[in-house]
Amino acid sequence: MEISLSHIAFLNIPGHGHVNPTLPVVTELVNRGHRVSYAVDPGFVDIVRQAGATPVVYPTTLPTDDQEWPAGMAAAMHLFLTEAKAVLPVLEAAFADDRPDIVVYDIGAWTARLLADRWGVPAIQFSPTFVAYEGWEDDMGDLIDDEVRAFYAELDEWLAAEGVSIPAQTYVSHPDRAVVSIARSFQPHSESVHPKYTFVGPCLDDRAFQGAWEPADDRPVLLVSFGSAYTNEPAIYRRCFEAFGDLDWQVVINIGKFVDPAELGEPPANVELHRWVPQLAILAHAKVFITHSGMGGSMEGLYHGVPMIGVPAIGEQVMNAMRLVDLGVGKHIPRDEVTAEGLRSAVLELADDPAVAERLAAIKAEIRSAGGTPAAADVIESELK
């Protein structure tokens, strides 16, 4: 089938775990001759432009990397709705004289389906996390408390006011078409997922914009990183000093922006502290990864065949950590149960377990045969009219 060259709009939220997975796909589409516009907060303009897209800049209302997200599900969803209300008129004006031919949107970009419908163009979700399956609502029932139900009622009111008749939960969780950038084996009940969801695995490139990284020597490498938003954990970092200070490993800890290195004390000689690290480059060499179990980092770890210890901060990360355990490629330690002894034991057990290595090799092979970036671009092109 011959594909006409088109204007493709990406609508996202300003988070590395949401933006980074889309960037290789943007570059692939641009290389195929399409024009890509990317709605983005000022903090992401440079990397979006480097990927080949034209930034459509808007001021976000969401927490940035310097701010922490709320822990509750309802509180987080309220932030997405506030963002949608603020962004909608900005994007309508920005694209008024340059309508896209298709909208590709993140799970948190709640204006996207509404705008695509108004413009009369297809919309395809780009999901960097789990998607709905048959029985999803029943399984999620414990998370739907009175606050969440009240929120869905509020979202229904806003959608109705904007001319959308789709129920709120369907609007948020059930797209018409989706690219899913996780391993199919990582998806719970993958056999019950509708065919409209296409699993392409993580879409990764060399992230050259983040810089290179090489190990200091031939010692095993341990990476400790809780992403960008959930790094205010000085007690855990000190427990890492205690757990790994006498191991003959190179230990790299991303302490983020919230912790003053001085309050941690002097790190052991084999431990290095950083405000930020080129995570993907380090994982190419890592023996074990201690992570908050964000989906982006989890997929990067699996892509490189690295066993993981999940120390999650919020509910969706708990689900990811438990999934690593279910697949036999990781361990889960709740944040309030972290001890030096537990960390050390978990790292050494994972590093020395041949069965874990075998399972990781199988998932790594699955991911690398799933299609990744080219497959994602193929799905997007298939929806072009």
Provide the domain count of the chain: 2
Task: Decide if 51 contacts 214 (C-beta within 8 A).
Answer: no
**pLDDT tens-place string over residues 169-207:** 899 999 999 999 999 999 999 999 999 999 999 999 877
Question: Which of helix, strand or coil describes residue 352?
Answer: coil
Question: Do 70 and 88 share a domain, yes or no?
Answer: yes
Convert the pLDDT of each residue in 54-104 to its tens digit.
999 999 998 876 666 766 777 888 999 999 999 999 999 999 999 999 999
Nearest CA among 198, 279, 213 for reference residue 25: 198
The CATH number covering residue 53 comes to 3.40.50.2000
Same domain, yes or no, for 321 and 335?
yes
Q: 94 with 143, same domain? A: yes
Give domain status of residue 206, yes or no: no
Residue 218 and residue 362 in one domain: yes
Residue 231 and residue 113 share a domain: no
| Residue 149 included in any domain | yes
Indicate whether 2 belongs to any domain.
no
Show the tokens assigned to 101. 């031919």
Entry field: residues in the chain: 385
Structural domain of 282: 211-368
Residues 99/6, Cβ–Cβ less than 8 Å:
no
Helices (H) and strands (E) in the chain, counts: 15, 13
> Do 128 and 275 belong together in one domain?
no
If asked whether residues 13 and 151 sit together in one domain, one would say yes
Looking at residue 73, its pLDDT comes to 74
Rounded Cα gap, residues 285 and 223, in angstroms: 9
Please indicate, yes or no, whether residues 218 and 346 belong to a single structural domain of this protein: yes
Per-residue pLDDT of the chain (385 residues; tens, 9 = 90+): 556 689 999 999 998 889 989 999 999 999 999 999 999 999 999 999 999 999 999 999 988 766 667 667 778 889 999 999 999 999 999 999 999 999 999 999 999 999 999 999 999 999 999 999 988 777 766 667 788 888 889 999 999 999 999 999 899 999 999 999 999 999 999 999 999 999 999 999 877 667 789 999 999 999 999 988 889 999 999 999 999 999 999 999 999 989 999 999 999 999 999 999 999 999 999 999 999 999 999 999 999 999 999 999 988 899 999 999 999 999 999 999 999 999 999 999 999 999 999 999 999 999 999 999 999 999 999 999 6
d(CA 19, CA 51): 11
Shared-domain flag, residues 130 and 244: no
Of 81, 108, 77, 111, the C-alpha closest to 94 is 111
Let me know whether 194 and 258 are in one domain: no
Query: In terms of domains, do 218 and 246 share one?
Result: yes
- The distance from CA 87 to its chain's CA centroid, rounded to whole angstroms, is 21
User: CA 316 → CA 24, 25, 308, distances in Å?
Assistant: 25, 25, 16
Task: Please report whether residue 1 resides in a domain.
Answer: no
> Tokens 């009219």 map to which residue?
385
**Are residue 141 and residue 126 in the same domain, yes or no?**
yes
